[in-house]
A and B are shown apart, each in its own frame.
Chain A
């Protein structure tokens, strides 16, 4: 049973618009949630994280929102740029559990 789900395998967004990537989880014990970005032929790179005690974290064009009651998080990218085209993975971690649980990824395509 997948504890972290990214239900959209791909998403296409116009350059300059907002990209919203979604992630759902089932385990209420997760303490940290992370987003990673992956280009082809490269390893994932850490993008942004959020602790379960917060509901929002911002870093430049990237904002992550956490809705604990719905067990849902989302990554907003504003404005979207061509270099944002990549696969985005959501991952979750518990403080006492030294593992990251990963979603299957969403391929984001930014159209010029």
Chain B
């Protein structure tokens, strides 16, 4: 089954404790992206990647890091999480990233930073 898999689904952590949210896709998509969803703000892009070793900042990259060492994986790293990073996070992948073919989303990771 074609899918984007995120782990974990739920995570509660403390301020300053480094964490990684994993994302993997099995569709051989070139483009992958991370979003956060907050009430009243829709989805805001954090980082995206056009291909292996190619990443770029989205609209809200502060406090986040990403890497794309393999085509299928695109982990999101929070080096020192803070309470304002409490949010619902989605990973997405797409054939091209231009929106023409739509994006496939993971099921989300609900992160709480206390």
Contact = CB atoms under 8 A, between A and B. Distances in A.
Interface residues of A, number: 26
Interface stretch (A11-19, A73-81, A95-103): A95-103
Nearest to A91: B99
Nearest to B49: A98
A92 B100 CA distance: 10
Report the contact-size class of chain B (Cβ under 8 Å from the partner).
20 to 34
Contacts, number: 67
Given A100-B45, A100-B103, A104-B41, A43 B4 contact: yes
Interface of B: 4, 31, 33, 35, 40-45, 48, 50, 56, 58-59, 90, 92, 97-100, 102-108
Interface of A: 4, 6, 9, 31-32, 34, 41-46, 49, 89, 91-95, 98-100, 102-105
The 9 closest A-B pairs by CB, nearest first: A93-B99, A43-B105, A46-B102, A102-B42, A98-B97, A104-B42, A32-B99, A102-B43, A44-B105
